[in-house]
Amino acid sequence: MFSYLRERLSSHLRERSRRRARLVSKDGRCNIEFGNVEQSRFVFLIDIWTTILDLRWRYKMTIFISAFLGSWFLFGLLWYVVAYIHKDLPEFNPSINHTPCVENINGLTSAFLFSLETQVTIGYGFRCVTEQCATAIFLLIFQSILGVIINSFMCGAILAKISRSKNRAKTITFSKHAVISKRGGKLCLLIRVANLRKSLLIGSHIYGKLLKTTITPEGETIILDQVNIEFVVDAGNENLFFISPLTIYHIIDKNSPFFHMAAETLLQQDFELVVFLDGTVEATSATCQVRTSYIPEEVLWGYRFAPIVSKTKEGKYRVDFQNFSKTVAVETPHCAFCLYNEKEAKAKEKKGYDNPGFVLSEVNETSDTKM
């Protein structure tokens, strides 16, 4: 029992030590941080709208609640000051004929309640501003305008946060692994992507970036060097009819960075394949980007995806997501170079070649029989 646990622990530690750092997680989040930024953090206040939208919900709601409570309390103090200066409070023993600036403000608590009623336009009717002093009228107008601005900013930020295309991207999923196998007589890298909603993504476009560390001929080391990876679908990679899961593939030819890789050396490579899907949300007309990444351990050589779409007896098309990331082993060349050499060898067998050393000599037949 202890030996089994020890073996499991050691294998877990080995697997953890082999785990590669990735720039983009499987759910599309970028693993990057900025250090020693010379600009001040107050520069983010210039673009306050984007800053508010990027905040988490708990921070956003904390800011809004603090803004409301702070404005109510601040204007409550101002209303109390107005009543105090005008001597409307009970401690000044105003006469019966005295007309206050604000009716029924007896202290700080009642001033806070009047501020709350004014800004949120509740208007109970028990407390109201009179025409006695212009200061109270100006303060009422100013608080009403500020309350409308805060309400508009909060409603707009919440609506924009809810309707952001980032949430729509969560209903687009990629296969857990990428596979390499033959497709149409060519060696290809295949990835499966599916739309979990029936609403389409309009004008979808799929492309990829291969991130790796390269050394230039001048000796410069470039970390996260980006190489374009072209993905295609049988129907084209522009304006996809993305109603059912699609299998996108990259042809491994002589121009592909995967051309010099082989099944035996794939795990020894150091790269990260980032796949992007851009499109427009049909319901909101907002642009949307979905991304994921694959490291060498997540690329299976010699496999293809299992079928996922079938037709029911009722004539409907059924998508079985249980087989979405399921793979099946198939016969695949060990490298793209081997496949192309095999094709060239078969092509040469079908052709005839002249032998320069071959000489055709004519033989004269003579008859030794005499009549």
100 vs 36, higher pLDDT: 100
Q: How many helices (H) and strands (E) does the chain have?
A: 7, 13
Mean pLDDT calculated for residue range 137-165: 88
Fold: same for 44-163 and 168-347:
no
102 vs 9, higher pLDDT: 102
Residue 291 dihedral angles phi and psi, to the nearest 5°: -145, 155
Choose from 2-11, 104-113, 197-206 the range with maximum mean pLDDT.
104-113
Q: What is the model's pLDDT at position 127?
A: 87
> pLDDT band for position 19 (50/70/90)?
low
| All residues at 6 or more sequence positions from 7 whose CB lies less than 8 Å from its CB, including other chains | none
Q: What is the mean pLDDT of the chain?
A: 81
Q: What is the model's pLDDT at position 263?
A: 87
> pLDDT band for position 81 (50/70/90)?
very high
Q: Which two three-digit tokens encode residue 194?
A: 């599916």
Q: How many CB atoms lie within 10 A of CB 2?
A: 6
pLDDT tens digits along 254-305: 888 898 888 888 888 888 999 998 888 877 777 888 889 999 999 999 999 9
* Beta-ladder partners of 289: 278
> pLDDT band for position 199 (50/70/90)?
confident
324 vs 244, higher pLDDT: 324
List the chain domain ranges. 44-163, 168-347
Amino acid at 8: R
Under CATH, what is the fold of the domain 44-163?
Helix Hairpins (1.10.287)
Domain 168-347 in CATH 2.60.40.1400:
yes
Q: Tokens 């202890």 belong to which residue?
A: 2
Find out whether 305 and 326 touch, Cβ atoms under 8 Å: yes
pLDDT tens digits along 293-349: 999 999 999 999 988 888 888 888 888 888 888 899 998 888 877 777 665 555 555
Interatomic CA distance for residues 135 and 129, integer angstroms: 10
64 vs 167, higher pLDDT: 64
Q: Which among 189, 132, 211 is positioned nearest to 303, based on CA atoms?
A: 189
125 vs 212, higher pLDDT: 212
Mean pLDDT calculated for residue range 73-87: 93
Q: What is the model's pLDDT at position 25?
A: 82
pLDDT of residue 365 exceeding 60, the answer is: no
pLDDT of residue 173 exceeding 60, the answer is: yes
Mean pLDDT calculated for residue range 73-78: 95
